[in-house]
Amino acid sequence: MVFVGFGFLYTFLKAHSWTSVAFNWIAAAWGLLTAVLWIGFWERVWHSKFEHNKIKLSIRSLIDADFAAASALIAFGVVLGKVNCFQTLFIATVLVCFYSLNYTLCASVYGAADIGGSMYIHAFGAIFGVMCSWAYANPK
């Protein structure tokens, strides 16, 4: 879903079609890797389990990281064609940090259930993307 689905969904721009696929794969891979670390970090912050507790790589952590990468790609769709590769990686890094905080607070601290991912993934990615678009707006 993340690599093929979003990757070829963003080929609608005539001038940026293959660049969009490449930026998507780079942002998805980077978001997946950093999300495992950020989600593990925020879980340890809220549950005070820093001592002798390593961040473990499991199926659950990979699925949660995949959802974080999907949220980053939703935000990437808003600024597609306006940003370069380094800005895409910066957006993905910042988004994954705050997505992980949002996910940890909502899921484990408050116990909110989000079955379809509308609150954690889609709304967070869309709002973050709109704010990035506003921040990267052309001053003209």
Tens-digit pLDDT profile for residues 27-82: 999 999 999 999 999 988 887 767 777 888 999 999 999 999 999 989 988 888 88
- Which residue in the block uniquely carries the two structure tokens 């506003």? 134
Any alpha helices (H) in the chain, and if so which ranges? 5-9, 17-47, 59-78, 85-104, 124-135
DSSP of 101-115: HHHHIIIIIS----S
140 within a domain of the structure (yes/no): no
Q: How many domains does the chain have?
A: 1
Answer for the pair 70, 9: CB distance below 8 angstroms, yes or no: no
Query: Could you list the residue range(s) of the whole structural domain that residue 10 is in?
Result: 5-50+57-135
pTM comes to: 0.86
Length of the chain measured in residues:
140
**In this predicted model, what pLDDT tens digit does every residue of 100-140 receive, in sequence order?**
999 988 888 888 887 877 888 888 999 999 999 998 886 76
78 within a domain of the structure (yes/no): yes
